[in-house]
């Protein structure tokens, strides 16, 4: 079985390529390297000891997609390619609408043309907006609070319309909670070049002294210790969820959405304290004001994914914190 992975050199895509190759799938990757590095291709090969074809290019480039589908008999696609920075999407919404929507529509048109109608799509828990209650189930109302989230919800709607129009399509919409951590090898992981927006990459850069101090955005939330609560999921568990999603789309028809989370909520302080203790390192922090748009707490009810995909997260926050730090230590050593 040959799987096209768009955005396959990115954070979640690279871990998913490793799991696909380890499971015996053939892999073809397209990535424009707008948010990842070419070295990742060799790292994936090093971890798996397997080869795969990499195309440097854009998913909005229809001719390139056609070339890829002509050169390979693609059985299914996992579509990660897209921009993901919430704050930036508020500043430059058109960049987000153009890239996330155009890349997806172009991909879907080419898949249709080549009669490849099996897809797993990277959505996000952000499509639940401010949930009324917790844990979050897939049938909760959908709404968004920023342009990035709106691109995800618009794409979900496009996919539901597409599946309605043609019952040959088989689509898994995967709503990720908060992926963190890295592959055990320390060869792939998340290490943004810019100042990170997300919690774990920021903690890591404070631990390595690249940044001075973590700002904890508010300690007056309605949570166990006042700091925000999220459902952190190890990126390797998340990657394994994609294998199950691909198995599902290869055998069934229709469209369905699945929460990929652990079902456990941890506060910012719990993450910081766990990181400090498992890595035996200090993390300077101060409490600051709330970040606009943040919600108190967000965690999944992951039971639907367990029932339908036979998937559940296995790794805990100790591993997530250890592996995130291990990757960056290893990465900085090689620089
Ligand atoms: P990432 O930025 O590390 O990976 C995305 C990859 O897509 C990058 O390598 C980038 O170079 C590539 N890309 C972007 N636009 C492209 C285009 N037009 N053509 C070809 N390649 C393109 O991000 P990630 O964390 O691995 O996220 C993967 C997907 O999961 C994204 O769609 C993201 O929105 C979604 N997601 C991520 C999170 C998260 O917290 N990381 C949470 C929910 C959903
Ligand atoms: N957070 C924080 N300081 C940071 C980054 C994040 O206190 O520098 C908090 C944030 O307010 C939220 C949690 O950490 O409660 C997770 O934030 P992240 O941006 O990683 O994910 P998201 O908000 O998208 O769930």
Q: Are 329 and 208 in contact (CB under 8 A)?
A: yes
Q: What secondary structure does DSSP assign to 187-198, as a single string?
A: SS----SS---S
CA of 329 to the centre of ligand 2 (A): 22
73 within a domain of the structure (yes/no): yes
14 within a domain of the structure (yes/no): yes
68 within a domain of the structure (yes/no): yes
Taking CA atoms only, the protein residue closest to ligand 2 atom 7 is 216
User: What's 64's domain CATH number?
Assistant: 3.40.50.720
CA of 285 to the centre of ligand 2 (A): 13
143 within a domain of the structure (yes/no): yes
Q: Are 119 and 169 in contact (CB under 8 A)?
A: yes
Question: What pLDDT shows up at residue 293?
Answer: 86
Question: What pLDDT shows up at residue 332?
Answer: 87
How many domains does the chain contain in total? 1
Question: What pLDDT shows up at residue 334?
Answer: 74
Which residue reads 């969820």 in tokens?
Answer: 241
Segments forming the whole domain that contains residue 245: 2-182+232-263+301-315
191 within a domain of the structure (yes/no): no
- Please choose from 124, 217, 225, 324 the residue to mutate so as to test ligand 2's pocket, defined by most ligand atoms within 8 A of CB: 217
- Please choose from 86, 152, 198 the residue to mutate so as to test ligand 2's pocket, defined by most ligand atoms within 8 A of CB: 198
pTM: 0.98
Low pLDDT (below 70) residues in the chain: none
Residues flanking ligand 2, CB < 6 Å? 178, 197-199, 202, 214-217, 228, 230, 268, 291, 294
* Strand pairing report for 266-267 and 229-230: antiparallel
47 within a domain of the structure (yes/no): yes
100 within a domain of the structure (yes/no): yes
119 within a domain of the structure (yes/no): yes
- Ligand 1 pocket, residue 191 CB under 6 Å: no
- Give alpha helix (H) positions in the chain: 11-22, 39-48, 62-71, 86-91, 93-96, 102-113, 147-165, 199-207, 235-251, 268-279, 303-309, 317-334
- Ligand 1 pocket, residue 259 CB under 6 Å: no
């Amino acid at each position: 079985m040959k799987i096209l992975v768009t955005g396959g050199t990115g954070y979640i895509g690279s871990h998913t390529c490793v799991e696909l190759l380890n499971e015996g799938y053939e892999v073809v990757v397209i990535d424009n390297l707008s948010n990842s590095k070419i070295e990742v291709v060799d790292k994936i090969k090093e971890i798996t000891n397997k080869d795969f074809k990499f195309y440097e290019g854009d998913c909005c480039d229809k001719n390139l997609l056609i070339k890829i589908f002509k050169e390979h008999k693609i059985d299914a696609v996992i579509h990660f390619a897209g921009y993901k920075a919430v704050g930036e999407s508020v500043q430059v919404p058109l960049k987000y609408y153009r890239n996330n929507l155009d890349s997806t529509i172009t991909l879907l048109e080419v898949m249709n043309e080549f009669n490849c109608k099996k897809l797993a799509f990277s959505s996000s828990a952000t499509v639940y907006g401010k949930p009324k209650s917790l844990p979050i189930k897939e049938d909760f109302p959908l709404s968004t609070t920023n342009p990035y989230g709106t691109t995800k919800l618009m794409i979900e709607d496009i996919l539901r319309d597409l599946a309605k129009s043609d019952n040959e399509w088989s689509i898994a919409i995967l709503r990720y909670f908060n992926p963190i951590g890295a592959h055990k090898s320390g060869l792939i992981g998340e290490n943004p070049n810019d100042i990170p927006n997300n919690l774990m990459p920021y903690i890591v850069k404070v631990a390595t002294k690249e940044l001075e101090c973590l700002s904890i955005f508010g300690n007056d939330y309605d949570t166990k210790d006042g700091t925000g609560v999220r459902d952190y999921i190890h990126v390797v568990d998340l990657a394994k969820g994609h294998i199950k999603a691909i198995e599902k789309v290869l055998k069934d028809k229709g469209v369905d959405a699945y929460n990929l989370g652990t079902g456990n909520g941890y506060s910012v302080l719990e993450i910081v304290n766990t990181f400090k203790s498992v890595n035996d390192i200090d993390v300077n922090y101060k409490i600051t004001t709330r970040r606009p748009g943040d919600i108190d707490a967000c965690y999944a009810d992951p039971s639907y994914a367990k029932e339908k995909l036979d998937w559940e997260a296995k790794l805990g926050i100790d591993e997530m914190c250890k592996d995130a730090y291990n990757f960056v230590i290893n990465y900085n050593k090689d620089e």
